[in-house]
Structure 1
Amino acid sequence: MLGRTIEVAPPKANRNDPLQIIKSRKRTHGRPATIAGPMVRYSKLPFRQICRDYNVDIVYTPMMLAREFVRNAQARISDFSTNEKDTPTIIQVGVNNVTDLLRFTEMVAPYVDGIGINCGCPIKEQLREGIGCALIYNEELLIEMVKAVKDKYGDTLRLETKIRIHEKKAPERTLNMCKQLCEVGVDWITVHGRLRTTRSSEPVDLDAIKYIVDGLKEYDVPIVANGDCFTTKDMEHIAEYTGADGVMSARGVLSNPALFAGYDICPWGCVERFINYSVEFGGLPFQLVQHHIFCMFENMKVNKNHMKTLMTTKNMFELLDFLDSKFDIRRPNDQEFGERVEIPYI
């Protein structure tokens, strides 16, 4: 049963340990751990589930502001829903003080497999609040927050930090911060290989990630590499070049949730599965359903006129009618539902 509010949803009975997944995937699967990163608005329950259908080991929620989440019941209802299959899930938090973090952690701990502190968001509004990327320039606070959570929960709750790198002239600052995080018990560190000011259109700095991986070999703390993963070949290259234990993709899986399953182009089955999960789970605003399908269509190079028409639909009924009129779209009880690769134009 879908938990609409975390106050009444039952805790998960079957938990997965994301740390052991990250540490073991190279040995058990011959590849790095595959991770769908947090995306504002988009990493909701239906999308998390479709990622799991295509070889994604760990999925993140969107970033949630600790202060709003703790104080506002409406924020909790709109931001976080889960169910018994939603595992392993890491809930990402934007936070700037220990008190809010501990309160947030207490509320969400029974329903997730780990918490990730956002230390990489470069948005100016977040920086002004001391959230996101501001934390890599406030190392003492970041270390204090990690230590407070790990002192209280130990290994019963996994804690990650997702960071960007400091200026290129000071790589040792990033490495020293990571060493301090390891010493206070962080379970793994995700490194987005860009500066606070680096645009996503600029290449990710794999050398910076490799520098951190190499510099932390004395610690038993995995590193996840983030940035510019759009295909399986990207994943393999990033992992081999940096030595990272896991590879995270955000924009890549948004347009192609099946990229970690070896599909360079989003297969049609993703569309059918996503629609089914959106209807089954509910709670996803129509505009988000529409935009998810648009992103997949864009990756698949669907007829441009069809894409334009898609964006004119006003609700789920219109969207389903449109899809049925242009494509052979299957339902869950139909043969080959969620399995076809090519676009089934009518």
Structure 2
Amino acid sequence: MLHAQGFVCNANYQKENLYCDVCPEDWPLIVQFCANDPKVFVQAALLAQNYCDAIDLNLGCPQMIAKRGHYGAFLQDEWNLLQRTILLAHKKLSVPVICKICVFPEIDKTEQKGPLSGAAFWEHIKAVWKAVAIPVFANGNIQSLQDVEHCIQDMGVQGVTSTEGNLDNPALFEGRSPAVWKLAKEYLDIMWEHPCPLSYIRAHLFKLWHHTLHVHQQL
């Protein structure tokens, strides 16, 4: 997720996050922005669209940083603002526009925030899929490849994404669950081949080891 205002104003931010070498395995590539101003979002998207396959507006982030910045799930009640944002993006961009959303407590309203993260409500996702004429991707409760298959079969959606599950086990979509030390070794080998900031490495290793270190606290 990139900050739209920062991307528009900071050339170094652009270079570090998108205007840099990517390996073929990174494609197809979707660039996600957080934004609360239609013009700023579209301006950032126009700068990014030649470097990706689609632009995503994040309306799903439930974290406190999103609340402080007034973006993510905390924009979902502002329907007029969101409509103006998406219509402007649809008009100006040459790549598809995607919105990642969180559910409302009411299933009918979801078809149209839940600021708290937790288990996904697949019935809400199914209701969205039935209510719209555009592709719908499901997200949530995906911890294995079997979950992916069940989600597509039960919901009828066009695709499935994973956030926390994929961070815990990057081999999820290959149907593998290797020991965390093997995943960490594989990740570090890739890191040496494709260097990245230390903060990224630290964050990924933290996610890989988090559950294991809760059990093996002596480590």
TM-score bucket of the superposed structures, by smaller chain: 0.7 to 0.9
Query: Which stretches in structure 2 are left out of the alignment for 5+ residues?
Result: none
How far apart are the structure 1 equivalents of 2:157 and 2:190? 32
2:97 counterpart (112, 135, 159): 159
Provide the residue aligned with 2:56 in structure 1.
116
**Residue 240 in 1 paired to residue 153 in 2?**
yes
Identity across aligned pairs (percent)? 24
TM-score by length of 2: 0.86
- Contact kept, 8 Å, 2:63 with 2:115, in 1: the verdict is no
How far apart are the structure 2 equivalents of 1:257 and 1:212? 28
How far apart are the structure 1 equivalents of 2:64 and 2:167? 24
Alignment of 1:108-257 (within 5 A): 108-153=48-93, 156-168=94-106, 171-175=107-111, 177=112, 195-200=113-118, 203-216=119-132, 219=133, 221-257=134-170
Provide the residue aligned with 1:296 in structure 2.
208
TM-score by length of 1: 0.56
Q: Structure 1 counterpart of 2:168, which letter?
A: S
Query: Which stretches in structure 1 are left out of the alignment for 5+ residues?
Result: 1-62, 178-194, 309-346
Q: Give the secondary-structure state (helix, strand or coil) at the position aligned to 2:76.
A: helix
- The number of residue pairs the alignment matches comes to 217
How far apart are the structure 2 equivalents of 1:210 and 1:280? 41
Greater helix share, structure number: 2
How far apart are the structure 2 equivalents of 1:150 and 1:83? 26
1:282 counterpart (195, 200, 206): 195
User: Deviations along 1:35-87, whole A, 9 cap, x unmatched?
Assistant: xxxxxxxxxxxxxxxxxxxxxxxxxxxx1111111112333344444415121
| Root-mean-square deviation (Å) | 2.6
Q: Structure 2 counterpart of 1:72, which letter?
A: N
- Say if 1:131 and 1:198 are closer, same or farther in 2 by CA, change over 3 A: closer
- Say if 1:121 and 1:291 are closer, same or farther in 2 by CA, change over 3 A: closer
Q: Structure 2 counterpart of 1:65, which letter?
A: H
Deviation at 1:224, TM superposition (A): 0.6
How far apart are the structure 2 equivalents of 1:119 and 1:147? 15
Relative contact order, higher structure (CA 8 A, sep 6+): 1
Q: Rg larger in 1 or in 2?
A: 1
- Contact kept, 8 Å, 1:266 with 1:296, in 2: the verdict is no
How far apart are the structure 1 equivalents of 2:96 and 2:60? 19
Deviation at 1:130, TM superposition (A): 3.2
